[in-house]
Structure formats: structure tokens, C-alpha cells
Amino acid sequence: LERDAGRYIDCQERLNFCPLGACALAGTGLPIDRFMTVSALGFTEPMRNSIDAVSDRDFVLEFLYANSNTAIHLITSCRRVGTLGL
């Protein structure tokens, strides 16, 4: 389970970028301070690439993988406990 916790930590580190202000392609015309929104919402920094901010879906797969892997490990542990008759 330690490795599973590490996967969640790694996932959060890669997801801790704020996409606000990226809009559909080339940023927004609204006068927003991206660094202020990052600070207010608790992210580490804004996303550097606006195209990546709006088109990336890898974060969903990464989070689902971490969840499924953790579930497999928990199920395996429960089966072992059940086999031992504890």
C-alpha cells in the first residue's frame, strides 16, 4: 500500500497546475491574473501551455490507474486475511 500512496502523491504533483485562463486555444482576453487564481485555489502554478491545458486527458487515466491498482491490492489483502481465517 506504500507504493499505492506514492502513486497518488505523484499523481497530485502532476495535476497541481491551474488551467484557468487557458480558454479554448490561445488564452483569454479577460484581464485575469493567473498567478492570483493559482494562489487562491491552492495550485502550485498555472499551466504553461494553453493547448495542453484544454486538450489533455491523461490525468483521468492516471487517477483511474492509481485507484484500480489500490483496489486490486486491497482485494488481495482481504482474500489473504479470509484464507487465514482471522
pLDDT for 27-42, tens place per residue?
777 788 888 989 999 9
| Confidence bin at 70 (pLDDT 50/70/90) | very high
| Confidence bin at 85 (pLDDT 50/70/90) | low
Nearest to 46 by CA among 31, 61, 36: 36
Grid cell locating 48: 504553461
Outline where the chain has alpha helix (H).
2-15, 34-41, 50-55, 58-84
Grid cell locating 18: 491551474
Q: Which residue in the block uniquely carries the three cell numbers 494553453?
A: 50
